Structures are given as structure tokens and as C-alpha cells.
A = this chain, B = another copy of it.
């Protein structure tokens, strides 16, 4: 499944090296005006394709250039990659805005999940279908439906792991498949709680994050957070759907505790078996994603760049 990621990203700017010649369309993600030491204005551009981004300087600009090369503009650019103080930068040789003949769309320059939205939605719905407890099933279906559009769009995080369009849905599908395997090995696990917990656990990100591109935290995201957002939603949905019994409380607990510890943002640690296992499955899938992404760019016999969310470790790629 993950091999798709590799294929999609290959040959993109993420894989560029010093000396590479570039001649392609790219998206201006950010454009900031500066003044050079000779007193002349210039632009610092962040150019991206689906695989990553790179910084570039547009020197000695004319007044109209600032508007032409502003953010969210697609450009056709030629240039060479060089090393600037230890980071790659693109030396622009030629640049022009894209036009209609170019037939390019912003979404072509943004990384996104290797599965399409409909397929992922279908898979998630299949798991909902497999939930046997009617209360758990209704609650889950209700909330997924309420936030379905965002669920299929947002990344799973602003950085670190699954930080691409539809990343959340993709992460949830992977976790469900893993849960399915784990449930078979440990039959004492309640698969209903586990599947529902996985589908709901990060659903609050739909309101925590600003959207699929250049994702930022919303004020609600910073002040309340996706964990408490979805916990409140479960509480409210149970009232609306007149669901009694302890199921809503258990799902609320699973969601509240899925970060594992107070230091990591959970107001309660996992105190139900399925909550503990969900926390593990979540971590395992996120770490696999981070390691695979970093190892993709690494030559056999070498170490990856440091990975901040993995305690800054650097991983070895066997020969």
C-alpha cells in the first residue's frame, strides 16, 4: 500500500540535489518581499510540487513582479539547485506565470494521499458496517456523516506524519486494517469500540485545522484541540440520538485518551483495553509513515535526516 507513496513522489523537488537542473511548473506557496544589501527589493519564494518545496530568490524585481509572483500562483520555472548555508535553494534562471495552455491546477502541486477519496470512504464505511453494537454504529455513522467532507480533505497533522491532502482518511484506513489484524490475534478485544474509536479519534481535526493546503491551527484548534472537540461532539450526538448506556462514555474516553499521556495532550490516560491498543496502533502507523518518508530519500548504507517527531533520531537504511 505504502509503495504508492513512493511512486507518486518520485522525481519531485523533494529528491533534488545540488547541481540538478529544473524546468517545470511549480506552485508559489509563499512570496515575501525583502531588500537586498544593495538596496534593491527582491522576493523570497517557496516553490512546491507534490513531493516537497524549495526556496528561491527573485532578485532585482520590478514593481509589478510582486503581484505577478504572489502566493498560490503557478509558474513555469527554470533553474539550478545549489547549497545555501547547508540548505538547498533554487537559482532561478527563467520564470513566467503559467497560462491556460499549460493546463495545470493548484491541486497538482500539493501532496495528497495515494488512495482516492471515494475508495477510502468506502473502506471506512465497510468497517462501520462491521460494527455489531447498534449504539456504537449509529454514533459513529452520525459523526462521520456530519464531518465527512472535511474528513476526506484534511491532513492528519500539520507536519510530522500524513501531512498531505486526505492524510487523515488515509491514516484512518491504515489503522483500521491494522486493528482488524490485531483483533484476530487477541479475540478478547472489543472490535466495535476499536473500529469506532479509530474512525472518531482524530475527527476533531476537521475543526482544529484550517484546511488541506498550507494547513494551520484554527483558534478553536489551539484553545480547545481536536481531542476535546470530538469528545464534546460524541456527548452531544448521544443526547441527540437518545443513546443510553455506557457506550458514549467509553467512546469519549477512547478519544480523550488516545494521545496516551497528559504530557502529550490527553486529559486521561487509556483506562480501557481498547483505548490502550488504539494508542499503540495510532503510534505504529504514524511512525511507519515517518520512517518510510525519510528512508525513501536515503541511499542504502546511509542514515536519514534527523526525524524530529521520533526523538530526533536518524535511521539507517541497510545495504
Closest chain-B Cβ to A162's Cβ sits at a distance in Å of 14
Q: Which of chain B's residues have a CB closer than 8 A to the CB of A62?
A: none
Q: A2-B188, A271-B315, A288-B186 are in contact. Are A35 and B91 (CB under 8 A)?
A: yes
Within 8 A of B (CB), among A268-299: 268-273, 276-277, 280, 283-284, 287-288, 291-292, 295
- Stoichiometry, as copies per complex, reads 6
Q: How large is the interface on A (under 10, 10 to 19, 20 to 34, 35 or more residues)?
A: 35 or more
Please pick, from B1, B83, B174, B239, the residue contacting A34 in the complex, using a CB distance under 8 A.
Answer: B83
Contact surface of A with B, Cβ cutoff 8 Å: 1-3, 18, 32-37, 39, 57, 59, 82-85, 91, 174, 177-178, 181-182, 184-188, 190, 193, 219-220, 222-225, 227-228, 231-232, 235-236, 239, 246, 249-250, 252-253, 256, 261-273, 276-277, 280, 283-284, 287-288, 291-292, 295, 301, 303, 310-311, 313-316, 318-319
- Could you list some 15 contacts between A and B, CB below 8 A? A33-B82, A37-B37, A177-B185, A178-B182, A182-B284, A186-B288, A228-B268, A235-B235, A246-B319, A262-B266, A265-B267, A269-B311, A272-B316, A276-B310, A276-B315
